[in-house]
Chain A
Amino acid sequence: MSAQTTTTADVHGHVDTDHIHGHEHHHEPTWLETYVFSTDHKTIAKQFLITGMFWGIVGGLLSVLFRLQLGWPNDTFPFLESLLGKWAEGGKISNEFYLAMVTMHGTILVFFVLTGGLSGTFANLLIPYQIGARDMASGFINMLSYWFFFAASVVLFISFFLQTGPASGGWTAYPPLNGLRDIAINKGSGLGFDMWALAMTFFIVSSLLGGLNYVATILNLRTKGMSMMKLPLTIWAFMFTAILGILSFPALLAGVALLEFDRLLGTSFYLNMIVVNGHLLDYRGGSPILFQHLFWFLGHPEVYIIILPAMGIVSEVLSVHSRKPIFGYRAMVVSIMAIVVISFLVWAHHMFVTGLNPNLAAVFVLFTLLIAVPSAIKVFNWIGTIWKGSVRLSVPMMFAIGFVSMFISGGLTGLMLGNSPIDIQLHDTYFVVAHFHIVMGVAAFFGMFAGVYHWFPRFYGRFMNDTLGYIHFYVTLIGGYAIFFPMHFMTGLPRRYYTFANFETFNNFNFLTQFISIAAIVVFIAQLIFVVNFFYSIFNGRKVDVERTEDGHTYGNPWEGTTLEWTAPIERIHGNWAGEIPSVYRWPYDYSVNDKPYISQNTPLAPGEVEHT
């Protein structure tokens, strides 16, 4: 009997290390367990962030390189040959590598930076902290999620060094161009594309494993008193982002699986009557449009997977730094839900020029325009939040305001492009490039930067340097507009072209093209300032002021926020809170109430105080 009791205790102790009494009996983790194969959500968040920053630099650098080609198509840059070797013989980027760079720029920024780097970082950091949990529902699956992302990154990065180069058939991977392994058609269609597909498969697995964990954690591990309507808007955004990913990424996986069947096994799901060099190939019955349906069934929700976390972060940052409750909390939650639902019904607006039945197109136009309603509600509420607030123009606040500006500018052109008659004219031109870069590229980056500057003290117990932060902000804001605003006037100029030198009609855009290229280089350099600031501040940043010390742990609340992440020790311990997890009594936006600057969520209601509903 005694033997059995011991066994039970052993098992019990072992099992509970992750959640319940993590601080009571956990074994000392090794270096490898702490920093590499960590199951701690805080470490995983940092891993996602730093991998995302690496990809951000790579993706940004690619855009600088192809902007050099676009801005100065007749000049040579000898340093390019030392950098790219045979891809830039004589200092001029080859047209093949130009296409590869455009393809990889899209893939990297959309998936590896703004999905993995953004959702992965902030969902991991904030979900356990803000809902009051010791960690994610499954630390192990969370770790797997990162390492699948890492594997995807390695595969994609290696593909740059292939003899035939990385995938070069566009980030949308449309067949038939990408449906054949024939490098005579397109060099990137060889091994480069297969590695792209493998990387995307790993990436999809990663984001699914992450997403399952986020939703399960939010629904099951909220601390006592944390009802759904007391969740910060960040958490609502992460939850719906994860749901969106769980339901839409499988469609892309199916699309890519069929594509690889065609490429590797000789099936013809997407291929029909292909003629190469005068020979009719043996493929019958496939339809490339099928791929577009599967691709955009993910592809459109994907833009909301990118923008929703940014929206959540911005809502939180605007409220904290305006010292005012968020305007229209319920409307914010409902509009996130509405965006998620409608985002599944708009995918064919990417396909207006595929010969889509105009009656069907009308339905997609309707839903596309409809999605502007919840988006506009959110914009209105952000402006309502800062209206008459005691706004603190800190660096995260500047980026949050910048986000709203970018989102409005890019969103308005979305209304134009959502109409099929206009879209058919503007399809595949720089007008579209301008639209989506502003609304989901630059805007999402602004949300991400707002988050990094705001939660850097939570990550490292220090602030990032303000001066460098303001320089980063102003250059990025002005530069971002300088790059993409002129593109609105370049209607008719087709995207993805290697050079326009052969088209006399486009000569009048030469000045604008060069101007954009210069702005892109300046903005890229400003991002390097951010990277330097980030790593410098980890070790040398101003420390967060210690408000009190308890049981050997120090506590501080750098932005005077109400949410639970600031009630945990500055030191970032395993299990997040030294003692019991705080219980929650009030909503997360009690700023400037009861004659107090702010009241934390774990402060019980004062006698006679009515709970905010």
Chain B
Amino acid sequence: MNRTIAMSRGEDEYMQELKGTTEYTGVHPQKFALWLGMASMTMFFAALTSALILKKGDFKSWENFRLPSIFMASTAVIIGVSIAMHAALISYRKARFSAFRWLFTLGFILAVAFLVMQWLGFRALAAMGFPLTGNIAGQFVYLMAIVHGLHIVVALLVTAIVLILAIRARRDPLYELKDVINPKRKLHMELLVTFWHYIDIVWIYLYLFLYFNYR
């Protein structure tokens, strides 16, 4: 039984059929849709960061401060999420189910840890004299972290569903295999991991943006 052949069916086959009947860009349409969605979310975060630049320019009592160091730690954790998720995807592609489940769970836990650290960051910020309703410079940190966190929550919900399915499949090797050669499932895995990478990069951008604006 050649697992690699079984797995490389699916999406490729779908693309081959598209190629026969369709004028297309060479990208799976749903992947393409996700990229467009990421472009849209980029516009959302761009709007928020430009609001900060505008505000910083016209408000006389803007107070700069050093971001609490916990945010640096959370940034490191979110890079860990990306690495774990990507490694999980590679294991999935190679049908190493056990490794996939462990890495995927690790990614999930790290993402939850990230959210907890963001919350600790808020507490540190408030302790520094920048509560949510304090100086507007501080308010922007809460704003960016909360709306970014909402994206993480959505990604976590989808990840939780995939994780439950994967853990359930553990008992039945045939089901496991079906899970891998199911082209739709494989595609969804790829879409999910792409989204994780995207939302992780957004936080890194936001962190650097805040860091350099508040120096």
List residues of chain A with CB under 8 Å of any chain B CB. Answer: 1, 3-4, 7-8, 10-12, 14-16, 19-20, 133, 137-138, 141, 208, 211-213, 215-217, 219-227, 246-251, 253-255, 257-258, 261, 265-269, 282, 284-287, 290, 293-294, 297, 580-581
Contact = CB atoms under 8 A, between A and B. Distances in A.
Contacts of A261: 139, 143
B116 interface: no
A250 B183 contact: no
B142 A257 contact: no
B47 interface: yes
A11 B136 contact: no
A220 B32 contact: yes
B6 A267 contact: no
A293 B55 CA distance: 12
B121 to A, nearest CB: 16
A285 B59 contact: yes
Contacts of A1: 1
A269 B47 contact: no
A220 B18 contact: yes
B4 interface: no
Given A138-B30, A287-B58, A268 B133 contact: yes
Nearest to A249: B40
B138 to A, nearest CB: 9
Given A4-B177, A266-B132, A226 B23 contact: yes
B136 A269 contact: yes
A267 B133 CA distance: 5
Nearest to A268: B136
A133 B21 CA distance: 10
Contact of B47 (A3, A12, A267, A294): A294
Pairs of residues from A and B, 4 with the lowest C-beta to C-beta distance, nearest first: A137-B29, A250-B44, A285-B136, A254-B47
Given A15-B10, A219-B25, A287-B59, 10 more contacts: A15-B14, A20-B21, A137-B29, A141-B33, A224-B22, A246-B36, A251-B44, A267-B136, A282-B133, A285-B61
Interface residues of B, number: 52
A208 B27 contact: no
Interface string B11-28: 001100110111111011
Contacts of B39: 246-247
B9 interface: yes
A7 B43 contact: no
Nearest to B13: A12
B164 interface: no
Nearest to B26: A220
B50 to A, nearest CB: 8
Interface of B: 1, 6, 9-10, 13-14, 17-18, 20-25, 27-30, 32-34, 36-37, 39-41, 43-44, 47-48, 51, 54-55, 58-59, 61-62, 132-133, 135-136, 139, 142-143, 147, 174, 177-178, 181-184
Given A219-B24, A251-B47, A268-B133, A246 B40 contact: yes
A8 to B, nearest CB: 6
Given A1-B1, A219-B25, A269 B55 contact: yes
Nearest to A3: B174
A297 B182 CA distance: 43
Contacts, number: 164
A15 B182 contact: yes
Contact of B29 (A221, A225, A265, A287): A221
Nearest to B27: A220
A581 B6 contact: no
A109 to B, nearest CB: 24
A212 B195 CA distance: 15
Contacts of B18: 220-221
A213 B143 CA distance: 29
A354 to B, nearest CB: 13
A119 B50 CA distance: 29
Given A261-B143, A267-B143, A285-B59, A216 B136 contact: no
A247 B135 CA distance: 31
Contact of A285 (B20, B32, B48, B62): B62
A7 B21 contact: no
Contacts of B34: 212
B51 A4 contact: no
B14 A20 contact: yes
A228 to B, nearest CB: 8
Given A4-B6, A227-B23, A15 B183 contact: yes
Nearest to A134: B21
A215 to B, nearest CB: 6
Contacts of B61: 284-285
A282 B136 CA distance: 12
Contact of A269 (B24, B36, B51): B51
Contacts of B178: 7, 10-11
A518 B14 CA distance: 59
Contacts of B135: 284-285
A138 B29 CA distance: 8
Contacts of B28: 220
Contacts of A247: 39-40, 43
B22 A221 contact: yes
Given A7-B181, A246-B39, A224 B21 contact: yes
A226 B24 CA distance: 10
15 contacts: A133-B22, A137-B30, A137-B32, A138-B29, A212-B36, A212-B40, A217-B29, A219-B25, A246-B39, A249-B40, A254-B47, A258-B143, A267-B139, A269-B143, A285-B62
A251 B47 CA distance: 6
B144 to A, nearest CB: 11
Contacts of B136: 267-269, 284-286
Contacts of A4: 1, 6, 177
A382 B199 CA distance: 45
A335 B188 CA distance: 38
A212 B35 CA distance: 9
B24 A220 contact: yes
Given A8-B181, A223-B22, A216 B36 contact: yes
A472 to B, nearest CB: 37
A371 to B, nearest CB: 21
B132 A258 contact: no
Contacts of B20: 224
A293 B22 contact: no
A293 B40 CA distance: 18
A220 B177 contact: no
A221 B43 contact: no
Contacts of B139: 261, 267-269
B40 A222 contact: no
Contacts of A8: 6, 9, 181
